[in-house]
């Protein structure tokens, strides 16, 4: 496994791999890797990728004032071991100065998809995401890139970015990987105390309640939102949103015809968690 710190070297490595006949798969991460990240690598292998690249970069552009940039977990040695265990070929670990050198003044914005849900509570977040993803895609070149569905809004934004800017990238969505109790795996879960960790499952109970009601025929968005909200309200300190939206446009809907995204963001102490389920497509067991 090769660890690369320079952008041009990473770009050259990916291009040389394709010239040698490799099908490149790419997993962009901010590190603190867990089983969810490893599932992305596995999904690319299953798609036939013969060369896997992972980037590890805590992107300052996607953190707002007062967010957890400084305390975001950084576990590089463990991350590299995890990548090695999964047969990753190249790990790109740039510095902030390498990604955003002096004079860097370009930002990428995806309108519409970036404005609701997370966009309301984290202004500028998706501009930071779109900017770093666009730069990483420019470096890695033609490939398959895997993104988890836990960050569903991010996934939709990246799909739109690729389509609009004609990047030669195939996006591979991967289902959310969950703990035994149903909590979605997240690097931020490690912030939780044991007591907070137990309370955090309220978000899963809320999603399950809505899924059960949907499967029994409930189609009104407000009713499903209320069912999902109750357990979250009882166990979390604050709720940013519990929303039923169209799974493509991410716009609010009143009634579900076929499918809908039910998305939740809530806070326990200083930790903010997000989760979702696509009603009519997924079941939470």
Q: How many CB atoms lie within 10 A of CB 243?
A: 22
d(CA 195, CA 38): 27
d(CA 24, CA 44): 9
Options 26, 31, 34, 37, the catalytic residue:
37
Strand partners, 263: 243, 276
Q: Mark whether 34 is an active-site residue.
A: no
**Residues that are catalytic:** 37
């Amino acid at each position: 496994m090769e660890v690369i710190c320079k952008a041009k070297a990473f770009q050259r490595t990916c291009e040389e791999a394709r010239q040698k006949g490799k099908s490149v798969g790419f997993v962009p991460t901010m590190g603190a890797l867990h089983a969810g990240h490893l599932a992305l690598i596995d999904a690319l292998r299953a798609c036939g990728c013969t060369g896997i690249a992972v980037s590890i970069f805590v992107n300052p552009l996607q953190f707002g004032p007062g967010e957890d940039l400084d305390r975001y977990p950084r576990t590089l040695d463990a991350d590299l071991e995890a990548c090695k265990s999964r047969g990753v070929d190249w790990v790109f670990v740039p510095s902030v100065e390498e990604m955003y050198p002096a004079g860097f003044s370009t930002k990428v914005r995806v309108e519409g998809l970036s404005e609701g849900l997370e966009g309301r509570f984290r202004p500028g977040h998706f501009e930071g995401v779109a900017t770093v993803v666009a730069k990483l895609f420019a470096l890695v070149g033609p490939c398959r890139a895997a993104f988890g569905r836990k960050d569903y809004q991010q996934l939709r934004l990246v799909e739109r970015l690729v389509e609009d800017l004609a990047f030669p990238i195939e996006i591979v969505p991967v289902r959310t990987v969950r703990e035994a109790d149903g909590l979605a795996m997240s690097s931020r879960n490690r912030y939780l105390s044991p007591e907070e960790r137990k309370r955090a499952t309220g978000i899963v109970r809320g999603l399950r309640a809505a899924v059960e009601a949907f499967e029994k025929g409930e189609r009104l968005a407000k009713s499903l939102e209320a069912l999902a909200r109750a357990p979250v309200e009882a166990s979390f300190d604050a709720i940013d949103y519990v929303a039923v939206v169209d799974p493509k446009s991410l716009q609010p809907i009143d009634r579900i015809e076929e499918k809908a995204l039910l998305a939740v963001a809530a806070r326990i102490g200083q930790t903010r968690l997000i989760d979702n389920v696509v009603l009519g497509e997924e079941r939470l067991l």
